[in-house]
Amino acid sequence: MQHVLSIPFENLSIHCGEVITMDLESIYDKIVVGRRGGWCFENNLLFSWVLKEMGYSVTMLGSRVFNSSKGEFSPMESHLINKVIIDGTAYIADVSFGTSGQIWHPLELISGKDQPQLPGVFGLTEESGTWILVKTGREPLCHDESFAKKLQGKQSKQIYSFTLTPRSVDHFLETSQLLQTSPESLYTNKSICSLQTLTGFSALVGWMYFEVIYNYQDGVDLFEFKNIPSDEIDNVFRAESWLSGAEDWSERASLAQTGRPCEPQSHISVTWQAAADGGAL
């Protein structure tokens, strides 16, 4: 749990002209030394190394994220997760899905068992070798009617599916490159930074700020949204203490020379569901 409370899920490198690699030393320098965050190919790879250094048996797995708008799982394994053995029992450890789909504690790899955590009730189901992670949330409460219309009521939501086939770093290299360069990728079109808190999570998606308090009232999660003026973005990072290594990132983004336009993301239409699906890497 300390990992998700301390290291953000973020893709700011893409919007600052930086190349995201799966080189462990580079990831360590960025996240630990540079006090940044990363997406799943960075955070979960680093976490797998930490677990191995601590003596745990760890296997990297690939998962296919569920796209709510299309009602289907991604055709490619765009999300890296870990299977870890603790006292002879297998668990799924994932420290980098982000936003509302983030698990806070390892999930026992057992089908059909409800596993309650503060974010909601998580569960894994298995059929013919394919596992599906599902989360059941609470009723959402939002005092701003314009945003409240975007929220869905209490429901079970599929997060991602996976098999237990071991994966290596090489398996994810092509996907990582595609997601940080393709003009159709969510991550080239939307800057995302989110961090779990003791009571929920906060996130900045484009110029839209989210704050969620889980179980604000019995059976109710509180959602707060607000648009942030572009000249105040860096102040949000400082106030939230998300990334000590990403000060003035919006200026860096506007000046980045990446071979494609790297403009402020204020023009992007952001919905809650897109943000929730976006916390996928």
Residue 60 pLDDT > 90, yes or no? yes
Q: Please pick, among 15, 16, 79, 142, the residue that the annotation labels catalytic.
A: 79
- pLDDT tens track for 23-57: 999 999 999 999 999 999 999 999 999 999 999 99
Give yes or no for a contact between 45 and 24, defined as CB atoms under 8 angstroms apart: yes
Question: What is the rounded distance in angstroms from the CA atom of residue 115 to the CA atom of residue 32?
Answer: 30
Residue 239 pLDDT > 80, yes or no? no
Q: What's the rounded mean pLDDT across residues 265-269?
A: 35
40 in catalytic set = yes
Residue 272 pLDDT > 50, yes or no? no
Q: Count CB neighbours of 235 within 10 A.
A: 11
pLDDT > 70: percent of the chain: 85
Residue 76's pLDDT is 95
Among the ranges given (126-135, 175-184, 241-250), the one the predictor scored with the smallest mean pLDDT: 241-250
3 in catalytic set = no
- DSSP-assigned states of every residue in 194-210: EEE-SSEEEEEETTEEE
Q: Please pick, among 94, 142, 193, 277, the residue that the annotation labels catalytic.
A: 94
Residue 208's DSSP bridge partners are 205, 227
Question: What is the rounded distance in angstroms from the CA atom of residue 205 to the CA atom of residue 209?
Answer: 6
Two structure tokens written together for 256: 């980045």
Residue type, 34: G
Residue 217's pLDDT is 92
Is the pTM higher than 0.85? The answer reads yes
Q: What's the rounded mean pLDDT across residues 204-228?
A: 92
Q: Please pick, among 40, 142, 193, 262, the residue that the annotation labels catalytic.
A: 40
94 in catalytic set = yes
Among the ranges given (12-21, 67-76, 101-110, 247-256), the one the predictor scored with the smallest mean pLDDT: 247-256
Alpha helices in the chain (DSSP H): 2-6, 24-28, 40-53, 145-148, 169-179, 186-189, 233-240, 249-255, 272-278
What is the C-alpha end-to-end distance of the chain, expressed in Å? 18
Residue 105 pLDDT > 50, yes or no? yes
